[in-house]
Chains A and B, each alone.
Chain A
Amino acid sequence: MISKNIQLDEQGRLKHFLSIEGFKRQHLVNILDAAEPFANVHEQAVKKVPILRGKTIVNLFFEASTRTRTTFELASKRLSADVLNININTSATSKGESLLDMLHNLEAMHCDMFIVRHNQSGAAHLIAQHVSPHISVINAGDGCHSHPSQAMLDMFTIRRHKKEFADLTVVIVGDILHSRVARSQIHALNTLGVTEVRVVGPKTLIPTQIKTLGVHVYHDMQTALVGADVIIMLRLQKERMQGALLPSEDEYYHQYGLTEQKLSYAKPDAIVMHPGPINRGVEIASSIADGPQSVILEQVTNGIAIRMAVMSQTLGRSSGGNS
């Protein structure tokens, strides 16, 4: 659905960031490399760099978010951009204004970037097709489709711990069906060339065609975890579940919840990740979430650097970025 052209400008530079599909390995490596120096900005007494001074960035969140919205906002502010947070519930869309009319109004206020989260797959892509040429759009999660900045912050976290992607076995556990994060992670991991991506979960929560993305499917947690370097736990997205997909949370935890015992099947230096928010005792034991192998809070910190990298690359282009 998403052509690679729309995310890159005529010179092949990043214009929009909508999904991992369509990017080559070097594009992703460039984003990871660009994020490295931004990871140090918080060490400055003044936690800001001036590169997006005078740019206006709009957070358009049509769906609840804490981490993603706040880290996008922090990233914008650390780049010295001005940030508008549009509260959709109290905006004129609730008076019947269409999405595109609202966007054209924001364009008339000379904004430079829209960061979009929406419960409909393809929303950010639709917006990117309709905005003026100088505006960049970043997808902060659309329905069950894609969450590319989350995937990139996960890749950044993995690279910081494991250095190379080539020899890694990565296991993604849980509600793959509703997870845009998992889809983006699978694309990113395969583009960066890991040895193997495994997904594991109950049959009701694994899409039937998932193998076409280049993953191995497991339904037994123990078998899936043997030899794992990276374990990514996913939240059960109850708000998106229609119908009886699970017998009970207790049963799910028993089968797929990450406990000390299940973790012991993975490599001893395996890292445990989770995009948040975590449900303790549903998909992960507290002792693991807070334990030495957990990098869950590092993921949050790294999210700021990755988002700074994506925003400065999209707005730092000479054509369009220049006002």
Chain B
Amino acid sequence: MKNTSETKSSELNKPHTLERLLDNMHLAIKSKIQHFNKEDVVMIGIHTGGFWIAEKLYEKIGITAPLGSLNISFYRDDFTKIGLHPEVKPSQLPTGLDDKHIILVDDVLFTGRTVRAALNEIFDYGRPASVTLAVLLDRGGRELPIYADIIGQKVTLAKGRQIKLCGPEPLKLVQNKC
């Protein structure tokens, strides 16, 4: 189920918070895909934090298609500002996204620009039947008309504060830098 209660960011550092949020997401995804044909469901994590979250969720969901990993570097809207990172890891998507129900997973939803880039890339691989966005944290501050269907937790952050998922082992939510 969607958990829309807002939390202060200090709560997020507490032990077991991450497990609780992942449980929230797991339940919501299960309910979302219950009417879909399981073979048509594809989970894709956005590199890197979104992929770590997707790995945890993928273990529990029980779908057949391999977990996809999406690197949006080539689709960013600030490419000419920041240039190309020399170590971009290639995206690895199960071939043929046509008519699939995609669960797109990211760690923190903020401006919406990452999701915009991810959607563009997905559509260069095929025409999915639907895309459901699942995020661990929604910190508001959208700059584009994008929303998440499944949210682990909404958080309010003071202006200029950052929150980041560090990992992959152990996964940990931290303020500012890892």
Q: Chain A residues in contact with chain B, CB under 8 A? A: 13, 30, 33-34, 36-37, 39-40, 43-46, 48-51, 312-313, 316-318, 321-323
Contacts and interface: CB of A to CB of B under 8 A. Distances in A.
A322 B124 contact: no
A321 B124 contact: no
A49 B88 contact: no
Contact of B125 (A44, A316, A323): A44
Interface stretch (B19-27, B75-83, B135-143, B168-176): B75-83
Contacts, number: 60
Contacts of B124: 44-46, 48-49
Given A44-B125, A48-B124, A316 B71 contact: no
Contact of A50 (B120, B125, B126): B120
A45 B126 contact: yes
B90 interface: yes
A48 B125 CA distance: 10
B80 A316 contact: yes
A29 to B, nearest CB: 8
Contacts of A44: 124-125
Given A13-B83, A50-B120, A318-B81, A34 B74 contact: no
B100 to A, nearest CB: 12
Interface string B38-51: 00000000000000
Given A37-B71, A37-B91, A44-B124, A316 B86 contact: no
A321 B83 contact: yes
Contacts of B126: 45
A22 to B, nearest CB: 18
Most buried by A among B73, B81, B83: B83
A37 B75 CA distance: 13
Nearest to B75: A50
Contacts of B88: 34, 36-37
A40 B74 contact: no
A51 B74 contact: yes
Contacts of A34: 84, 86-88
Contacts of B75: 49-51
A246 B126 CA distance: 55
A313 B84 CA distance: 6
Nearest to B76: A51
Contacts of B123: 46
Contacts of B2: none
A115 to B, nearest CB: 18
B95 interface: yes
B84 A51 contact: yes
Contact of A316 (B84, B91, B95, B120): B84
